[in-house]
């Protein structure tokens, strides 16, 4: 399945590699899921995951992001005419639309409810997504 992973889910997967969030990375590594991304998404992953508050090792983050880049799929996007509550979330939605993602997995569903415009992307929390796939 092709998915877009919001930054908060990716961060959670590194913080909790043996819990439900870590299963997202396991699914990527096992190639049962393909991460869709564009340069803006990768830039946000890099910026957020390098924040000192998390204490992640730079080499570990580089390895994870290199894997996402090499095993995932780079998507070219276009303006979809949607306004979200937080404009910084728009790249994730645009990638999901352009890449025909099976899901956009996030910890903040309300951030993807348009203030203006519409989309048909399945936006799910990690728990809902895993339950739907019967992974838990």
Question: What CATH superfamily classification does 2-132 receive?
Answer: 5'-nuclease (3.40.50.1010)
Domain layout of the chain by residue ranges: 2-132
Polymer length in residues for the chain = 136
The rounded percent of the chain whose pLDDT value lies above 90 is 87
User: Using one digit for the tens of pLDDT, what is the confidence trace for 43-67?
Assistant: 999 999 999 999 999 999 999 999 9
The helix/strand/coil state of 122 is coil
pLDDT of residue 135: 47
pLDDT band with cut points at 50, 70 and 90 for residue 107: very high
pLDDT on residue 20 = 86
């Amino acid at each position: 399945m092709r998915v877009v992973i919001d930054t908060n889910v990716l961060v959670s997967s590194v913080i909790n590699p043996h819990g439900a969030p870590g299963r997202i990375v396991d699914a990527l590594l096992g190639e049962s899921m393909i991460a869709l991304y564009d340069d803006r998404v990768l830039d946000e992953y890099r910026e957020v995951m390098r924040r000192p508050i998390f204490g992640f090792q730079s080499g570990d983050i580089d390895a994870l992001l290199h894997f996402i880049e090499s095993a995932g799929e780079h998507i070219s996007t276009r303006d979809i005419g949607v306004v979200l509550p937080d404009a910084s979330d728009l790249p994730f939605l645009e990638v999901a639309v352009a890449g025909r993602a099976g899901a956009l997995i996030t910890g903040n569903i309300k951030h993807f409810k348009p203030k203006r415009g519409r989309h048909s992307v399945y936006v799910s929390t990690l728990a809902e997504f895993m339950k739907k796939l019967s992974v838990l």
